[in-house]
């Protein structure tokens, strides 16, 4: 576990991008709260509870972590979420009971969204400012029964964040009928637009609901009424809501007054590699090459199983395809046998590769989770593959050791992982911290 827990050197350069573990490490005890002063920030929830966060960063494929100290927050599980990240921003959500004396399953819950932001690069400034947290206004809808607004809940991983300069948008998308009699599906888009230096207390920020027709050639043949968002990917001026069973709802101009929603189903030559019924475990939509390219990355199990060890004698196929045109855009097909023929089982365990993620900088480089289905909780490790050379980059990084870790500080992570298989969240805010350090201490 030491490799997975090792942060980037406190005095050295931080990684330009990181893989954030979606599981938040709630540590209210000061003795167990891990902190890096370069990434720490404090905030206050809408019910007046103070909290502190700190990111422990590491070079991919080692996951980076978010530690949270929230002594006055509810002790229930699943009350804090790492929702989204883009450029120098990260979106967090903390859920609190509006009436702390009624913490029952039916108690009203306030969903507080916080923007964690690192100052963007300004060549005119020599100052190094600390990261900060700003609470955004909650999204509410009028409830006729109560005669007042109540919180509008969103699924945390269905919320997207888009940053363009000093402006940003937080958005949630659903698919349905506004008027069932018309039998026309629409996108219901909830958007909060603001600026980094905006003031939530002034009342200028508010959520807006927009109803958009769905464009695209694949709409007619796709059953979008059962749309389920797996994750939201920011790309240029758009947010991409991904359902790994169906395709992508690409919403342009989210920061503008006239957003447009377009659906694109997965092409047949892509989906033919997916016999699995749990595609979100094996597929990923990735932004790479410094934000210039959008690409699909997929692992297709040859045994057609959803979970568990591969059937003996079978393998998998890795497919990477760029879906935007750039000069250096590449596509790759890598077979398990290609990797196993040149790596020993010690260098590359014979496990299926899951939760794929391309490097944010290099379209040739992909990161994967290796899951050893042993014991109650299994063991996880991570590996980086150069798809162009079909070689392991570096070495396999251990992450969780199953039951062996139940006596460590990572016991809560180990227990949660079997039901918490979520993609790591790529984030590049450490790059902005590095730019600040260079301005303060030029070579």
Comparing C-alpha atoms, which of 115, 112, 120, 111 is closest to residue 134? 115
Query: Beta 207-215 vs 186-195: how paired, if at all?
Result: antiparallel
Which pLDDT score, from 0 to 100, does residue 439 have?
60
For the segment 178-204, the average pLDDT, to the nearest whole number, is: 79
| CA separation for the pair 1, 63 (Å, rounded) | 12
The CB density around residue 1, as the number of other CB atoms within 10 Å, is 16
Which pLDDT score, from 0 to 100, does residue 272 have?
45
Given pLDDT bands bounded at 50, 70 and 90, which one contains residue 2? very low
Given pLDDT bands bounded at 50, 70 and 90, which one contains residue 56? very high
| Of 17 and 434, the one with more pLDDT | 17
Please state the pTM of the whole predicted model: 0.91
| CA separation for the pair 165, 253 (Å, rounded) | 14
Q: Is 217 exposed, middle or buried (0-12, 13-18, 19+ CB in 10 A)?
A: exposed
Comparing C-alpha atoms, which of 136, 124, 139 is closest to residue 174? 139
| Of 75 and 101, the one with more pLDDT | 75
The pLDDT of residue 425 is above 60: yes
| CA separation for the pair 91, 21 (Å, rounded) | 14
Tell me: the pLDDT tens digits for 231-252? 999 999 999 999 998 899 999 9
Are 50 and 43 in contact, with CB atoms under 8 Å apart? yes
Comparing C-alpha atoms, which of 98, 117, 108, 102 is closest to residue 45? 98
Mean pLDDT of the chain: 87
For the segment 63-67, the average pLDDT, to the nearest whole number, is: 98
Which pLDDT score, from 0 to 100, does residue 355 have?
95
| CA separation for the pair 81, 95 (Å, rounded) | 9
Which pLDDT score, from 0 to 100, does residue 329 have?
63
Domain ranges of the chain: 1-135+428-443, 137-260, 266-418
**How many alpha carbons fall within 13 Å on the CB side of residue 19?**
25
Given pLDDT bands bounded at 50, 70 and 90, which one contains residue 9? very low
For the segment 330-344, the average pLDDT, to the nearest whole number, is: 93
Given pLDDT bands bounded at 50, 70 and 90, which one contains residue 108? confident
Are 264 and 246 in contact, with CB atoms under 8 Å apart? no
**How many alpha carbons fall within 13 Å on the CB side of residue 270?**
22
Percent of the chain with pLDDT over 90: 62
Comparing C-alpha atoms, which of 185, 189, 190 is closest to residue 226? 185
For the segment 159-174, the average pLDDT, to the nearest whole number, is: 95
DSSP secondary structure code for residue 405 in this structure: G
| CA separation for the pair 354, 356 (Å, rounded) | 6
Which pLDDT score, from 0 to 100, does residue 103 have?
65
Which pLDDT score, from 0 to 100, does residue 401 have?
93
The pLDDT of residue 274 is above 70: no
| Of 244 and 276, the one with more pLDDT | 244
Given pLDDT bands bounded at 50, 70 and 90, which one contains residue 267? low
Copy the structure tokens of residue 308: 């568990």
| CA separation for the pair 238, 385 (Å, rounded) | 29
């Amino acid at each position: 576990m030491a490799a997975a827990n090792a942060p980037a050197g406190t005095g050295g350069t931080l990684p330009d991008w990181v893989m954030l573990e979606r599981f938040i490490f709630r540590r209210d005890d000061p003795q167990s709260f891990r902190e890096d002063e370069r990434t720490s920030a404090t905030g206050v929830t809408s019910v007046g509870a103070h909290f502190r966060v700190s990111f422990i960063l590491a070079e991919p494929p080692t996951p980076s972590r978010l530690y949270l100290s929230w002594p006055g927050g509810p002790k229930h599980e699943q009350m804090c979420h790492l929702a989204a990240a883009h450029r120098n921003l990260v979106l967090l959500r903390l859920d609190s009971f509006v009436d702390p004396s009624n913490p029952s399953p039916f108690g009203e819950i306030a969903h507080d969204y916080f923007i964690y932001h690192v100052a963007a690069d300004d060549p005119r400034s020599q100052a190094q400012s600390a990261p900060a947290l700003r609470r955004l206004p909650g999204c509410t809808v009028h409830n006729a029964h109560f005669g007042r607004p109540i919180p509008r809940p969103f699924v945390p991983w269905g919320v997207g964040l888009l940053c363009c300069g000093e402006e940003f948008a937080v958005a949630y998308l659903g698919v349905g009928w506004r008027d069932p009699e018309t039998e026309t599906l629409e996108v219901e888009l909830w958007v909060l637009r603001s600026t980094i230096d905006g003031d939530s207390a002034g009342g200028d920020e508010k959520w807006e609901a927009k109803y958009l027709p769905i464009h695209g050639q694949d709409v007619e043949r796709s059953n979008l009424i059962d749309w389920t968002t797996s994750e939201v990917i920011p790309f240029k001026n758009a947010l991409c809501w991904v359902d790994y069973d169906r395709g992508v709802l690409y919403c342009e101009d989210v920061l503008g007054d006239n957003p447009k929603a377009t659906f694109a189903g997965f092409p047949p030559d892509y989906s033919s590699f997916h016999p699995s019924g749990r595609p979100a475990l094996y597929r990923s939509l990735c932004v790479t090459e410094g934000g210039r390219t959008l690409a699909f990355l997929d692992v297709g199990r040859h045994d057609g199983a959803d979970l568990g060890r591969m059937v003996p004698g079978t393998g998998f196929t890795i497919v990477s395809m760029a879906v935007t045109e750039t000069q250096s855009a590449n596509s790759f097909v890598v077979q398990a046998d290609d990797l196993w023929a040149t790596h020993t089982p010690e260098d590359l365990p014979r496990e299926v590769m899951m939760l794929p993620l391309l490097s944010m900088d290099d379209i040739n480089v992909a990161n994967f989770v290796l899951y050893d289905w042993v014991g109650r909780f299994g063991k996880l490790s991570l590996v980086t593959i150069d798809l162009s050379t079909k070689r392991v980059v570096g070495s396999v990084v251990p992450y969780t050791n199953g039951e062996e870790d139940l006596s460590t500080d990572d016991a809560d992570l180990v227990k949660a992982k079997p039901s918490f298989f979520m993609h790591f969240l790529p984030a590049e805010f450490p790059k902005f911290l590095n730019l600040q350090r260079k301005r303060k201490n030029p070579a």
